[in-house]
Amino acid sequence: VEILWHHEGQASKEGEMCVTTIDLLLQWMAVIHTCFLKDGLSNFRNIAIVGTHSDLLNAEDKKKIKAEIEVKCRDRHFEDILTDITFVDNTTAGKGEMEDQAITDIR
């Protein structure tokens, strides 16, 4: 099975499996959660998702993406490690007063 990174989650050929960015994110969170448990760090519960390129998204897009992530994390064994979902305009990083406030807040 060929794995595609396709933002719409649609297969273009029979037999192909599409993996969306959110699918990859969920897999990553599951691995992190498993590592926490394996290493005895079950009390460590701080994962923040930071979406970059917020300058390319409008407020409605950000709301939709955040809601989709929250829905897909619901009822999973790692749901409680997700503490924040935020978006940053990474093109402004290190530019003093021009820097996106979200970047400053993360620091």
Q: 83-105 pLDDT, tens per residue?
A: 889 999 989 988 988 999 888 88
Each as own residue / partner, the long-range contacts of residues 42-48 (CB below 8 Å, 24 or more positions apart, any chain) are 45/80, 45/81, 45/83, 46/81, 46/83, 47/78, 47/81, 47/82, 47/83, 48/82, 48/83, 48/84, 48/85, 48/86, 48/106
For residues 55 and 17, is the Cβ–Cβ distance under 8 A? no
pLDDT, position 5:
44
What does pTM read for this prediction? 0.68
If one counts every other C-beta atom within 10 angstroms of the C-beta of residue 93, the result is: 14
pLDDT for residue 59 is more than 90:
yes
Mean pLDDT, to the nearest integer, of 37-63? 81
How much is the pLDDT for 84? 86
Neighbour count for residue 30 (Cβ, 10 Å): 14
